[in-house]
Amino acid sequence: MPFPEDLPAPLAKALAERGYAEPTPVQDAVLRPETRGRDLLVSARTGSGKTVAFGLAFAPDLMAEAERLPPPGAPLALVVAPTRELALQVQGELAWLYGPSGGRVVTCVGGTDPVAERRALERGAHIVCGTPGRLRDHLERGNLRPEAIRVVVLDEADEMLDMGFREELEAILETTPASRRTLLFSATVPRAIAQLAQRYQRDAQRITAGEEGSQHSDIDYRALMLAPHEIERAVVNSLRFFEARAALVFCRTRATVTRLQGSLAERGFAAVALSGELSQAERNRALQGLRDGRARVCVATDVAARGIDLPDLGLVIHADLPTDAETLLHRSGRTGRAGRKGIAVLLVPHNRRRAAEALLAAARVKASWGPAPSAEAIRAQDNQRILATAREQVAEEAAEDEQAMARELLEGSPPEAVAAALLRALRGTLPPPEELAAPAERAPAAPRVPRPQEGGQQGAWFRLSVGRQGNADPRWVLPFVCRRGHVTRQEIGRIRVLDRETQFEVAPWAAARFAAAAMRPAEGEDAHIRIAPLPTAPQASAPTNAPASAPAATPPRAAPLPEALRRKRPARKP
C-alpha cells in the first residue's frame, strides 16, 4: 500500500529520495484519516519506523495546507526521547524528512553545551528534539518558548518512566499549551503509561502496530551452550562465525565492557566501547565509527545502548544474560529493524541453562539451541568464504601491468604456490578463532538427587595432585574442582585431603562430563595442578574432609587452617 496522496509534496519528495515506496505498519496506522488531529497512544516496537511515523503524523499540525514551513521562530513541535543518542537520531530523521519543506530541527540533550543550545533556540526552530532533563531546564530558564507548540511527542515513553523521568515529563506536559496534540509512542503500555496517557491526553486513539512483547519476526534467536569460563572466547567465535557487518555485544558492567573491548581489539577486531562513564563526545565518536564502517563491534552496557539505532547492525550478542525479559527484547531489538534480518545470540553457561530457558519463555521467544561455534566450524566456513572471494578476484579482468607482473611471478613459482600465497593473504586479515571446550551435557531435569553418601550410591572418584603439604583445604578444593570440571557444588560428594594428594567424589550422572572437562590442558595460575581418575574408590575408613556447602549428613569438616595459611593457594611445583 503506497503512502497517502494527501501528504505534503515536500515530504513525499523526501520519502521518495530515501527509497520509501510504501509505509510500514505503524506508519500506515498513524496516517489513516480517522487519526488526523487526534491524540495517539501507539504501541510499536523499536525498528518499526516510528520516527518517520510521528514525523508524518504531525505534518498537518505544522504545515496545514502550505507547501513550506514558515520562517523558524518559536518551536511548533517538541519530541522528547529517553537518551541523548536517540534524540540525536530522531533529529537526523526529521531533518531529512522536513528538509525540502525548509524545516529546522534543533536538539537539546544532556552532555552538550547548554549555551550553544540556547543560541540555537534563539535563532529559531520548527522542531526541538531533546532529553527530559535538558528540555525541562530550558523551559524553566525561558530559553525554550512553549507558547507556539502544537504537538508534543513522547518517544519510548516506557523507557523514560523506567529511567525515572516521570517528574520531568509531567513538568514538560504541564508547561506546554493545553490545546496541543500529544502523541505517545511506547513499546509496551504498562499501567504507568496508561495513567500518564489518561492524565495528559484527550480522547486518545489506541493503536497497536504488532503484538506487544512478542518476538521480532526478523530476528533469529540462538542460544549457545558453553563452559562458564569461556564466555570471552565464545564472543570471539560468535563474531567470527556469524560475520555481520556491525555487531553489538552487551555486558552487565562497565568493567566488563572495558575488558572485553580491549581483548577484542588485541585479537584484531575493530571494536569500540559504550558505557556510562564515557563523555558524550566519546560516545558520539564510537557510534560514528560504527556508522561509517571504521569499527565493526560495539561492546556496551544496557544503559549506554538504550535507544541507539545502528544501520546494518546484523548481530546482537548477550555476553551476560539479561536480567529480565524486557531487557532481552530491548537488547535484541537493536537488530532486525526496518525489514532487515538480524541474529540475537545468547551465550549460556551450562549451569545457567534453566535460567536462560525461563528468560526466553517470559519473553515469548523461541531460540534454537546448540554449542558455541567451534574453531573447526569457523575455519571450514572461512575456507568457503576465502575461496569465493579468490574466485571473484580471479574473475575480474586484470590490467596490462598486473598481467605482466603475474607472468613474471609464474616464471619463478608454480601456480599452486602462487594461489596458496593469495589464500594466505586473504586468511591473514581474519582474527583467529578460539579453541573451546567440548560442550557439557545438560544435567537431567529430574528431581535433585542427594549427594553420594557413605553407604549410598557410589560416585566416581578422582585425585587432585596436591594435598596437605601444598596447603589444600576443602574450602578451596570444592570451588576449584567445580570450576575445572564444569560441575556444580551439588555434584561433588566426599572430599579426602591426604598428605600429597586430594581425593574427591563426583556424582555418577556428572562423572563423564567432569572427566571430559577436567582432564583437558588447563591455563592460568593453577594450570600445574592435575586431575586424574582413581582406579578404585578409597576405603570408607580413610580420613574425610567435607566441603563447606555439604549437607549435615556428611562427615564432619576438617579443623580450620591457621590464619596464616587460610588464604594460601597451593604452591607451584618447581
- Tell me what pLDDT residue 524 has: 63
Q: Which amino acid is at 335?
A: T
> Can you give the pLDDT at residue 455?
44
Q: Average pLDDT, stretch 366-390?
A: 87
- In this prediction, residues 397-415 reach a mean pLDDT of 77
564 vs 218, which has greater pLDDT?
Answer: 218
Least confident among 215-224, 247-256, 352-361, 498-507: 215-224
C-alpha cell at 275: 558505557
Task: Using the predicted structure, report yes or no on whether residue 210 has a pLDDT greater than 70.
Answer: no
58 and 190 in a single domain? The answer is yes
Mean pLDDT for the chain overall: 83
Give a yes or no: residue 397 inside a domain: no
What is residue 127's predicted lDDT score, i.e. its pLDDT?
Answer: 97
Mean pLDDT confidence for 353-361:
91
Residues 152, 204 within the same domain: yes
Average pLDDT (380-390) is 81
Q: What is the pLDDT of residue 139?
A: 96
Residues contacting residue 570 through CB under 8 Å, at least 6 positions apart: 466, 470, 471, 472, 476, 526, 529
Separation between Cα atoms, residue 42 and residue 208, nearest integer Å: 6
Q: Which of 154, 199, 144 is nearest to 175 (CA)?
A: 144
**CATH number of the domain bearing residue 69:** 3.40.50.300
* pLDDT band, very low/low/confident/very high, at 386 (cuts 50, 70, 90): confident
Flag whether pLDDT at 452 surpasses 60: no
Residues 152 and 296 in one domain: no
- Across the range 385-412, mean pLDDT stands at 76
Average pLDDT of span 408-430 = 76
The pLDDT value given to residue 441:
45
- Minimum mean pLDDT range among 20-34, 162-176, 501-515, 518-532: 518-532
Judge contact between 121 and 108, C-beta under 8 A: yes
Residue 445 has pLDDT above 70, yes or no: no
- The answer as to whether 451 is a domain residue is no
For residues 483-502, give the mean pLDDT: 86
* Inter-CA distances, 467 with 330, 384, 463, 545, Å: 50, 51, 10, 12
Query: What was the pLDDT predicted at 182?
Result: 96
Helix or strand holding residue 16 (H, E)? helix 9-17
Residue 243 within any structural domain of the chain = yes
Is the domain of 173 the same as that of 236? no
Q: Is residue 425 part of a domain?
A: no
> Is it the case that residue 448 has pLDDT exceeding 90?
no
**pLDDT per residue as tens digits for the range 518-527:** 887 776 667 7
CATH of the domain at 470: 3.30.70.330
The per-residue pLDDT for 550 is: 41
Band of pLDDT at residue 217, cut at 50, 70 and 90: low
Domain boundary among 209, 227, 250: 209
Question: Are both 469 and 325 inside the same structural domain?
Answer: no
- The last residue of a domain, from among 329, 346, 376: 376
- Percent above pLDDT 90 for the chain: 40
Mean pLDDT to the nearest integer, 335-346: 83
Average pLDDT over residues 99-105: 94
pLDDT above 60 (res 170): yes
- Paired residues of 182 in beta bridges: 152
Weakest-pLDDT range from 172-186, 243-257, 447-461, 556-570: 556-570
**Same domain (yes/no): 323, 244:** yes
Going by pLDDT thresholds of 50, 70 and 90, the confidence category of residue 570 is very low
Q: Which of 499, 496, 503 is nearest to 470 (CA)?
A: 499
Q: Are residues 176 and 226 in the same domain?
A: no
Confidence of residue 236 (pLDDT cuts 50, 70, 90): very high
- Mean predicted confidence (pLDDT) in 172-200: 91
Higher per-residue confidence, 74 vs 159: 74
Structure-model confidence comparison of residues 389 and 107, the more confident one: 107
Q: What is the DSSP string of 249-276?
A: EE-SSHHHHHHHHHHHHHTT--EEEE-T
Q: What is the pLDDT of residue 173?
A: 95
15 and 122 in a single domain? The answer is yes
User: What pLDDT was estimated at residue 438?
Assistant: 63
Poorest-pLDDT segment among 21-25, 182-186, 219-223, 444-448: 444-448
**Model confidence at 406, in pLDDT bands (50, 70, 90)?**
confident
Q: Which residue has cell 533556540?
A: 121
Are 228 and 337 members of one domain? Answer: yes
> Which of 357, 376, 395 is at the close of a domain?
376
For residue 532, the enclosing domain spans: 460-566
Supply the pLDDT for residue 123: 95
More confident residue, 411 or 204: 204
pLDDT for res 382: 84
Residues 359 and 487 in one domain: no
- Taking residues 89-94, what's their average pLDDT? 92
The pLDDT-based confidence of 42 (bands split at 50, 70, 90) is: very high
State the total domains in the chain. 3
**Residue 306 pLDDT > 70, yes or no?**
no
- Structure confidence at residue 487 as a pLDDT band (50, 70, 90): confident
Q: What is the DSSP letter of 246?
A: E
Determine, yes or no, domain membership for 15: yes
Residues 40 and 84 in one domain: yes
User: Is residue 141 domain-shared with residue 250, that is, in the same domain?
Assistant: no
Domain assignment present for 442: no
Per-residue pLDDT band for 47 (boundaries 50, 70, 90) equals low
Examine residue 455 and state whether it is found in any structural domain, yes or no: no
Residue 257: inside a domain: yes
Strand order in the sheet with 502-506: 492-497, 502-506, 460-464, 531-533
Burial per residue of 191-220, b for 16 or more beta-carbon CB atoms within 10 angstroms, e otherwise:
eebeebbeebbeebeebebbeebebbeebb
Q: Answer yes or no: is pLDDT of 506 > 70.
A: yes
Average pLDDT over residues 226-237: 90
Q: Is the pLDDT of residue 555 over 50?
A: no
**Residue 541 pLDDT:** 47
Mean pLDDT of 10-22: 89
Task: Tell me: pLDDT of 67 over 50.
Answer: yes
